[in-house]
């Protein structure tokens, strides 16, 4: 780890902390404010990968994982209206989803890095975001995994409703996942602009 990696480390830590705080505040019916900050972690990972390589990107991911773990541990000790702000299932889902999706992002980016500039960040972020969403919401809220934390009542997430209010009927957590996934995909496209600008400024030629 070199001093040049410090901005990426600090950016990843800031995103993880901000997302853990903002996830407590609703935005509309299906989202929280954290949904708009968390996807920026993929941008940080991809910038580090492009400029400094896969090893540096993985180190930044591990920093983000450790910071997220600390936030989860703190959250389990803070009581909200309905119990701890962070339950065991949410902590497990968050940690497993983050680490798996980010390391997958690094691997896909590295495999595509010699192609056109936009292919690696777009493909890695789209696939990583999809895996992240599927893992987190399934682990945190699916009725099939209730054995992970029997004392945690997540029956509210299993209420069957039309997806996003107008689609086919499915458990509520599916609507939450679809909305979250949609934000991630939209930000993956928008993030190509800052990715291009930042990597151009940080490239060795500059």
Nearest to 203 by CA among 44, 52, 41, 58: 52
Q: Find the Cα–Cα–Cα–Cα dihedral 13, 59, 49, 32, rounded to 10°.
A: -30
Phi and psi torsions of 169, nearest 5°: -70, 140
Segment 131-172, tens digit of pLDDT: 999 999 999 999 999 999 998 888 999 999 999 999 899 999
Rounded-to-integer distance, Cα 126 and Cα 103, Å? 13
Rounded-to-integer distance, Cα 31 and Cα 134, Å? 15
At residue 127 the predicted structure's pLDDT band, cuts being 50, 70 and 90, is: very high
Determine the 3-state secondary structure of 79 from DSSP.
Answer: strand
Burial of residue 75, with CB atoms counted within 10 A of its CB: 0-12 exposed, 13-18 middle, 19 or more buried = buried
Between 99-103, 114-118, 135-139, 152-156, the lowest mean confidence (pLDDT) is in 152-156
Rounded-to-integer distance, Cα 70 and Cα 184, Å? 24
Are 93 and 139 contacting, i.e. CB atoms less than 8 angstroms apart? yes
Bridge partners (DSSP) listed for residue 162: 169
Segment 28-77, tens digit of pLDDT: 999 999 999 999 999 999 999 999 999 999 999 999 999 999 998 888 88
User: Which of the 8 DSSP states describes residue 4?
Assistant: G
Q: Is the pLDDT of residue 197 over 70?
A: yes
Rounded-to-integer distance, Cα 110 and Cα 99, Å? 17
Q: Is the pLDDT of residue 203 over 80?
A: no
What are the residues whose beta carbons fall under 8 Å from the beta carbon of 164, sequence distance 6 or more? Answer: 30, 175, 178, 179
């Amino acid at each position: 780890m070199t001093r040049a990696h410090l901005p990426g480390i600090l950016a990843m830590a800031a995103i993880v902390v901000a997302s853990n705080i903002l996830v407590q505040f609703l935005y509309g019916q299906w989202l929280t404010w954290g949904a708009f900050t968390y996807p920026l972690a993929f941008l940080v990972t991809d910038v580090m990968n492009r400029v400094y390589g896969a090893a540096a990107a993985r180190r930044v991911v591990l920093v983000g994982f450790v910071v997220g773990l600390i936030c989860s541990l703190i959250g389990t000790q803070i009581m909200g209206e309905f119990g701890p702000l962070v339950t065991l299932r949410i902590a497990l889902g968050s940690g497993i989803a983050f680490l798996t999706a980010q390391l997958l992002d690094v691997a896909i980016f590295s495999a595509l890095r010699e192609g056109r500039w936009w292919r690696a960040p777009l493909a890695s972020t789209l696939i990583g975001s999809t895996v992240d969403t599927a893992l987190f919401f399934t682990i945190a809220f699916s009725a099939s995994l209730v054995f992970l934390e029997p004392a945690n009542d997540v029956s509210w997430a299993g209420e069957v409703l039309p997806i996003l209010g107008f689609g086919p009927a499915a458990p509520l957590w599916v609507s939450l996942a679809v909305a979250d996934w949609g934000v991630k995909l939209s930000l993956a496209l928008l993030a190509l602009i800052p990715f291009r600008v930042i990597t151009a400024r940080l490239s060795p030629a500059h």
